[in-house]
Amino acid sequence: MIFKPLIINFLLLFFLFLSVSKSVQAISKYDLYDCTNNVGCSGQCEKKGKSVTFKVNSSKSLVIMSVYEQGELHSTATFDNCKVIDNINWDCSTQIESQSSMVYRSTKMVNAVYSNILTNFLMTTAGLTAKVIGEVCAK
């Protein structure tokens, strides 16, 4: 009879563990690269010595990025209004417009490759010109 409460407690803890482990997602760490001279995170990029993790909340259309330097948390950024397909495919791109320019920030992950491209579009008398300000990738 003494084993019955132990078995019940064991089963309760086992099922609690199963329910918690299903809700926890594995978080992968990605190395950051500076790809200012390359477009689309392809080709030769320079490793920045930092790494990032992403926590994706698809129900709130939210992605939280944590940046680590030498293993220590350096900074965090929250992206909202994201189009989330899954943890390795999402798009949080935004644009800011003024009378003479528009800045477009393409922030997304496609098949586990993160890219953040900042492009400045300027309206001049010669027409519209675009300049890529910076590009950061994580693979």
Q: Grade residue 115 by pLDDT with cuts at 50, 70 and 90.
A: confident
Cα–Cα dist 134/37, whole Å: 8
Return the minimum-mean-pLDDT range out of 18-27, 36-45, 62-71, 86-95. Answer: 18-27
Half-sphere exposure of 139 (CA within 13 A, CB side): 12
User: pLDDT tens, 55-84?
Assistant: 999 899 999 999 999 889 999 999 999 999
Structure-block tokens of residue 139: 């693979």
Cα dihedral 68, 72, 74, 78 in deg (nearest 10): 60
